[in-house]
Amino acid sequence: MAAEIAKPSVSIQDLSLNFGAVSVLQTLNLDVAEGEFIVLLGPSGCGKSTLLNCIAGLLDISEGRIFIKGKNVTWEEPKDRGIGMVFQSYALYPQMTVEKNLSFGLRVAGVPKDEIAKRIARAAEILQIEPLLQRKPSALSGGQRQRVAIGRALVRDVDVFLFDEPLSNLDAKLRAELRVEIKLLHRRLENTMIYVTHDQIEAMTLADRIAVMKGGVIQQLDAPQTIYNRPVNRFVAGFLGSPAMNFLKGRLEKNGDGWSFVADDLKIPLGTYQFDGQPEAGPAVFGIRPEHVSLNSGTGWPFSTAANVEVVEPMGSDTLVWLQLAQQKFSVRVTSERTPKNDDAVTVGFDPMRASLFDAENGSRI
């Protein structure tokens, strides 16, 4: 996925944005390939929506350039950037029917009438909103409104779609449904899509690549699996995954040729772990996802140890088992059939190959 993008659909170069003395985005670079589905993921306040607004031209940037389809659009008006945008609150014009909502921008732009009709018909067909065309937004359900909002982007006949948390206002069930629809839409249209969300499931399911953001900086830009399995720092590791990754505080020590992670009475040999560079001895954080740990499955693991069950949380198909490891909280995800009981003595085993080691100080992957 790290291949160079020769002709990016959207290219952001050295973009910075300051509000007065507050730096919101810092020298940010991002290339999005033609037809790619990029998700900007991060906690609120990380600058993801701001970045999207910059791409749309709704916010003036402080430094840098933005290219869309190879054209420098840094100073262009939003309407001239060849983008369509879908908003969290739908932003439908409440006094207009669905049809008017879809056509208003086109009419203002002077698109011929039959062309408008054609585009609306197509969008309505794709989104299955034909029966709703004469209704006003107030007479639509949340899901229907969001379809119309998408439709408004669709009729603009543009190359790049921007989604600003489009599903956040919907309930869980609808959200899942529309998620699939957006995915289908992307497959059908093959447009470039940039999608902002704070929901990691949406990010994981939709994205070709995810850009995890924090503090106005892209922490990691990679395919979802890579981000999930090899987070570049502790923030990314902790932000993705539910239940969250286990973190054990301890030290990285060299013993003989190999390295091991030591925390309290625990000593984890790191023979199978792939270091990013040349490790150094010192304080470190050991992270491993609950589903990469097994319980009572023999001693065939590169590392195993005994522990007592503290709390059991059944989650339907799986169960989360909480233990104490090296005086620290540690969770293990097991299938429901193998659930232990409270206070059971168990054996914990895992392969450090699946773990992630982070610098204790700056949190970056070791």
Partner 1 sequence: MSSSQRPSKLFRNLNAKVASIPMILTALVVFVGGTAWTVLYSFTNSKLLPRLHFVGLDQYHRLWSTSRWLVSIENLLIYGAISLVFSLVIGFLLAALLDQKIRFEDTFRTIFLYPFALSFIVTGLVWQWLLNPDFGIQRVVRDLGWTSFSFDPLYNSSIVIYGISIAALWQGTGLIMCLMLAGLRGIDEDIWKAARVDGIPMWKTYLFIVIPMMRPVFITTLVIIAAGIVKVYDLVVAQTSGGPGIASEVPAKYVYDYMFFAQNLGQGFAASTMMLLSVVIVIVPWAYLEFGGRKRG
Partner 2 sequence: MVDVASLSAGTEARRRDAAGPSGPRPRHVLSRRNIFLYGTLIVMAVYYLLPLYVMIVTSLKGMPEIRLGNIFSPPVEITFEPWVKAWATACTGLNCDGLSRGFWNSVRITVPSVLLSIAIASVNGYALANWRFKGADTFFVILIVGAFIPYQVMIYPIVIILREIGIYGTLTGLVIVHSIFGMPILTLLFRNYFTSMPEELFRAARVDGAGFWGIYLRIMLPMSLPIFVVAIILQVTGIWNDFLFGVVYTRPDTYPMTVQLNNIVNSVQGVKEYNVNMAATILTGLVPLIVYFISGKLFVRGIAAGAVKG
Q: What string marks each residue from 63 to 82 as x (binds partner 2 by CB under 8 A) or -?
A: xxx-x----x-xx-------
DSSP 40-51: EE-STTSSHHHH
The pairing of beta strand 37-41 with beta strand 209-214: parallel
Q: Of 56, 61, 59, which is closest to residue 13 (Cα–Cα)?
A: 61
218's contact among partner 2, partner 1, none, with CB below 5 to 8 A by partner kind, is partner 2
Q: How many CB atoms lie within 10 A of CB 316?
A: 6
Out of 76, 91, 189, 226, the only residue in the binding site for partner 1 (CB under 8 A) is 91
Give the nearest distance from C-beta 362 to partner 2 in angstroms: 10
User: With CB under 8 A as the contact rule, which of the stretches 14-22, 65-73, 77-85, 217-225 interacts with partner 1?
Assistant: 77-85
Give the nearest distance from C-beta 288 to partner 2 in angstroms: 21
Give the nearest distance from C-beta 112 to partner 1 in angstroms: 16
The residue (of 9 and 246) whose beta carbon lies closer to partner 1 is 9
Q: Is 8 in the site for partner 1 (CB under 8 A)?
A: no
Q: Is 156 in the site for partner 1 (CB under 8 A)?
A: yes
Q: How far apart are CA 215 and CA 242, in angstroms?
A: 22
Give the nearest distance from C-beta 71 to partner 2 in angstroms: 9
DSSP state of 245: P
Q: Of 47, 116, 103, 53, which is closest to residue 81 (Cα–Cα)?
A: 53
Per CB under 8 A, which of residues 19..48 are in contact with partner 2? Answer: 28-31
64's contact among partner 2, partner 1, none, with CB below 5 to 8 A by partner kind, is partner 2
Q: What string marks each residue from 106 to 145 as x (binds partner 1 by CB under 8 A) or -?
A: --xx------------------------------------
Q: Of 67, 78, 63, 74, which is closest to residue 24 (Cα–Cα)?
A: 63
The residue (of 231 and 349) whose beta carbon lies closer to partner 2 is 231
The residue (of 20 and 300) whose beta carbon lies closer to partner 1 is 20
Pair 36, 8: CB distance under 8 Å: no
Locate 141 and state its tokens: 């359900």
Locate 349 and state its tokens: 């085993």
Q: Is 201 in the site for partner 2 (CB under 8 A)?
A: no
User: With CB under 8 A as the contact rule, which of the stretches 52-60, 208-216, 222-230, 354-362 interacts with partner 1?
Assistant: 52-60
Q: Is 83 in the site for partner 1 (CB under 8 A)?
A: yes
Pair 263, 251: CB distance under 8 Å: yes
Q: How far apart are CA 63 and CA 60, in angstroms?
A: 9
Give the nearest distance from C-beta 94 to partner 1 in angstroms: 6
Radius of gyration for the chain, computed over Cα atoms and rounded to the nearest angstrom: 24
Binding residue count for partner 2, defined by CB under 8 A? 33
Q: Of 121, 106, 130, 14, which is closest to residue 61 (Cα–Cα)?
A: 14
Q: Is 88 in the site for partner 1 (CB under 8 A)?
A: yes
The residue (of 76 and 344) whose beta carbon lies closer to partner 2 is 76
Out of 34, 35, 45, 62, the only residue in the binding site for partner 2 (CB under 8 A) is 62
Question: What is the three-class DSSP state of 146?
Answer: helix
Residue 65, CA distances (Å) to 10, 16, 37 in order: 11, 9, 21
364's contact among partner 2, partner 1, none, with CB below 5 to 8 A by partner kind, is partner 2
Q: Is 74 in the site for partner 1 (CB under 8 A)?
A: no
CA–CA–CA angle 45, 46, 48 (5° rounding)? 105
The residue (of 149 and 240) whose beta carbon lies closer to partner 2 is 240
Residue 137, CA distances (Å) to 99, 126, 141, 148 in order: 10, 19, 8, 9
Specify the residue for token string 């030290």.
Answer: 251
Residues at the contact surface with partner 1, assessed by CB under 8 A: 53, 56-58, 77-80, 83-85, 87-96, 104-105, 108-109, 152, 156, 164
